[in-house]
A and B are shown apart, each in its own frame.
Chain A
Amino acid sequence: MTSADHESTVRDRREEAVAAFEENRGILGRIQHTLHVTPALVPLIVLTAAIIGFTWYLGARFPEQLPLIMQQVQIVGVLAAAQSLIILTAGIDLSVGAIAVFSSVVIGQVTFRYGLPPTVGIMAGLAVGSAIGAISGWLVSRVKLPPFIVTLGMWQIVLATNYLYSRNETIRSRAIQDEAPMLQWLGAKPNEQLVNWIEASRGIEWERRRPAETDSAVLDFLWATNITYGVLVMIALVAILAYALRSTAWGRHVYAVGDDPEAAELAGVNVKRTLMSVYILAGAICAIAGWIMIGRFGSVSPSASTGVVGNIQSITAVVIGGISLFGGRGSIWGAFFGALIVGVFELGLRMAGANAQWTYLLIGMLIIGAVAVDQWIRKVSA
């Protein structure tokens, strides 16, 4: 065959539609495709529907409580961010809550028992969280143990270490407020600080608590937004991680490793290093959640419930958020929306006067529904 011959046959064949994509997929097919491309859409729709539903039933007093919901989900939201990273690599982390509690204890003890500056305490907490993540990451990536087993063991080990190290002592809120207020900084409210500062600059000083109503509607609104630095940290963290996962090589590698580690390795991705980085980062994020816990609760307690329920709550948020437990699929915004959905249901049903068990019943249904949707979306590949 001469090369000119070959050229022309190839050109002919290029004209053939070998695999044209069917344009008329039908409405269902198009929905499936959209969800496949934007996995955070389902939880966003559920969240919006839930907010609209509760507002319709409860009236304007429900949306007024949205900032409170943000405050209630900030710890779980940050833990869910860490959990998302691990689950994207097709792993699971049962130790996130334990790492958060232990980190908060380390932050408190380094400051109070050893009398070091609060900055050093926070640094020590972050270092401990990262180190625990590094151990898990090493066991998963080098020793090749299943993440479920590694983190199940780590959960017990970290929680036990937490009690032994802290001697089961709680550091009281009052003591922190007097000696190391920086530890509670994430619980402070920037909106109140701003309003107080504006009023102070106008020469208005309020005695004790400032009343919710003043003569300025703008300042009233600002006062009512009622957010904490912890909430801002949660949102910033999710935004930064979303950027890193979508727009950097590291993020693409995280998805590739979760999708098919062997293919990623052959394509030139350093799978072990990627896994290590994910586990270390997740540990550090859990430590941030530990710092947020001090802001939220005021005190440092080794027996905070987060150590036990934080793991399951974060996995719930991630699953409802549409991140696939098989790895490689989903978006971290989904996990954030997932955490908010849980918060909206909890508060909404409580305000409606329903039995708290209804919340768990609904969340259980959402979990199963979310995984069913995930399976349906994944059928695109079949």
Chain B
Amino acid sequence: MTEPILSATGLTKRYGKVVALDRCEFELYPGEVLAVIGDNGAGKSTLIKALSGAVQPDAGKIRLEGRDVRFSSPNDAREHGIETVYQTLAMSPALSIADNMFMGRELRKPGWRGKWFRRLDKGRMREFSRAKLSELGLMTIQNIDQPVETLSGGQRQGVAVARAAAFGSKVIILDEPTAALGVKESRRVLDLIQDVRSRGIPIILISHNMPHVFEVADRIHIHRLGKRLTVIDPKDYTMSDAVAFMTGAKEPEAA
């Protein structure tokens, strides 16, 4: 079997007396969509925060491409090639799509204008944004300069995913990408996920929506009581099995 691209062993995080992560294990393999499901309070968001650098674990190791890494901030994880699409999308509604795509990593014009006047290379940023959006089939967005607030929920999600796909060279984490969307828009986001996977970037998908999880995931990581209960193949189990594992109504057979 291939080596996992991102893995964690013995991950532990305590908040006072509450143990959010209890020696948790985690593996993500190249090119797969791994869904992470779990009941509220099971600790899956703490796990994701630890992997994206927003939370520093008390104990345990994170390995990226076989090397030990420690993320002190989301920016740190981002520099290692791990991009996260937050549930809130982290976009500035009044700014344009291109501005948002490059927020925090703007391109400057080459030569003296960039060096002395710190002038942004808006042309290059627009072109890049347009290319990335059309790569993901989002060219229904006509104008790259329109403010993000004029986009629909699905389009915003699309822009956020495109931003992650454009810069996330190794891993993309999607936090509840379909939670706020209608049926049709959810479809597009699921297509988007498969598009990104077909380009070889592995995805961690956190979702409460079982049909969506079973549709796109290659493997499902079930989180319970701060640790990984089991990993199942969606082809071998039903959705009610997964829910039963999540809630503790059913125990997985010892592997």
The residues of A with any CB-CB pair to B shorter than 8 Å are: 3, 6-7, 9-11, 13-14, 17-21, 36, 243, 247-250, 252-253, 255-256, 259-260, 262-264, 266-269, 328-329, 380-381
Contact = CB atoms under 8 A, between A and B. Distances in A.
Contact of A18 (B91, B106, B120, B140): B140
B95 to A, nearest CB: 6
A13 B185 CA distance: 11
Contact of B104 (A20, A260, A267, A381): A267
A262 B86 CA distance: 11
28 contacts: A10-B191, A10-B195, A13-B137, A14-B137, A17-B140, A18-B155, A19-B152, A36-B147, A243-B117, A247-B119, A248-B117, A249-B120, A252-B103, A253-B104, A255-B95, A256-B92, A256-B99, A259-B92, A259-B95, A263-B90, A263-B91, A264-B103, A266-B74, A267-B91, A268-B75, A268-B104, A269-B104, A381-B93
Contacts of A248: 117-120
A18 B154 contact: yes
Contact of B95 (A10, A36, A252): A252
Interface of B: 74-75, 78, 86, 88-95, 99-100, 103-106, 108, 117-120, 122, 137, 139-140, 142, 147, 149-152, 154-155, 184-185, 187-188, 191, 194-195, 198
A37 to B, nearest CB: 8
A269 B185 contact: no
A13 B154 CA distance: 14
A256 B195 CA distance: 30
B194 A252 contact: no
Nearest to A328: B94
Contacts of B117: 243, 247-248
A20 B95 contact: no
Given A252-B103, A328-B92, 6 more contacts: A14-B139, A18-B140, A21-B142, A256-B92, A264-B90, A268-B104
Nearest to B78: A268
Nearest to A327: B94
A13 B86 contact: no
A239 to B, nearest CB: 13
A262 B88 contact: yes
A263 B187 contact: no
Contacts of B89: 263
A262 B91 CA distance: 9
A19 B142 CA distance: 10
A329 B140 contact: no
A252 B118 CA distance: 12
B120 A247 contact: yes
Contacts of A253: 103-104
Nearest to A382: B149
Contacts of A264: 90, 92, 103-104
Centre residue among A7, A10, A36, A329 by max chain B CB count within 10 A: A10
B118 A19 contact: no
Contacts of A10: 137, 191, 194-195
Contact of A252 (B99, B152, B154, B195): B99
- Closest 9 A-B residue pairs measured CB to CB? A268-B104, A381-B149, A266-B90, A249-B106, A267-B103, A259-B92, A14-B137, A256-B92, A263-B90
